[in-house]
A and B are shown apart, each in its own frame.
Chain A
Amino acid sequence: MNSELDHAPRVLDSLQVGCDVHSVANTTESIEIFGESYLNRVFSFRERAECVGHAVTERLTGRFAAKEAVLKAMRVPAGIAIPWPTIEVLADEVGAPVVHLSGAAADFASRAGIGRIEVSLSHDGGFALAFAVAVPTASLQERAA
């Protein structure tokens, strides 16, 4: 059940997508009940540093949805542990979300032939929606040649 074969990633040979929707109410509930324990287990220091000031919980909710969308796009097998903070969703210089992988997430992506992951987020009506695309390390054109 836990054989190496079960946990071996399928090497990416095309674009893979993942999406997720997450409610702000659920994030609020988790923060109220578990506080710092929840925040530290799910978000990196850099993510928390970016989510300050206005609409903090909404922004954290968007990042959680993005992390889940990234996991789905990566097709992570059930037996592989990817701690949430190793999938960071940060803002670039114009505020667009960018995915930064480290630790177990980066190791899995490397073995799975994932070169980068693009992500898009949206918020409305108490929910956050995220959409992620995993892009192969080698371009599709290179593989076709």
Chain B
Amino acid sequence: MTTTDTVDTLQVLHTVLDTHAKLAVPAASLDLDADLHGAGMSSHASVNVMLALEDALGIEFPDELLNKETFSTTASIFAALQSLQAGE
């Protein structure tokens, strides 16, 4: 994955979070390790975030990644996206 790909993926993630996570503040203003659930994202909203990321990036989250830890921070979601895009 190139640096450009990494930046693009993070931009997509921020856009999806802003659209579907129902956060109290813009996603890009949060620290990458900030607790998204503490920032207002419900479990149901995390389902929408997952589905929107699948649509935007042409990936599919496998069952083993569908846990609260994966969707706890921007960094944790980004790490999952990177592993999926790398085909791991």
A residues adjacent to B (C-beta < 8 A): 2, 22, 26-27, 29-30, 33-34, 37-38, 41-42, 64, 68, 71, 76, 78-84, 104
Contacts and interface: CB of A to CB of B under 8 A. Distances in A.
Nearest to A103: B63
Most chain-B CB neighbours within 10 Å: which of A22, A26, A42? A26
Q: What 7 A-B pairs are tightest by C-beta distance, nearest first?
A: A78-B68, A81-B67, A78-B69, A79-B69, A34-B51, A81-B66, A83-B63
A81 B64 contact: yes
Contacts of A104: 63
B82 to A, nearest CB: 16
Given A27-B44, A76-B68, 4 more contacts: A30-B47, A34-B55, A82-B66, A83-B63
Interface residues of B, number: 18
A26 to B, nearest CB: 6
B21 to A, nearest CB: 12
A105 to B, nearest CB: 11
B54 interface: yes
B43 interface: yes
B72 interface: yes
Contacts of A71: 43
B48 interface: yes
A30 B69 contact: no
Nearest to B61: A41
A126 to B, nearest CB: 14
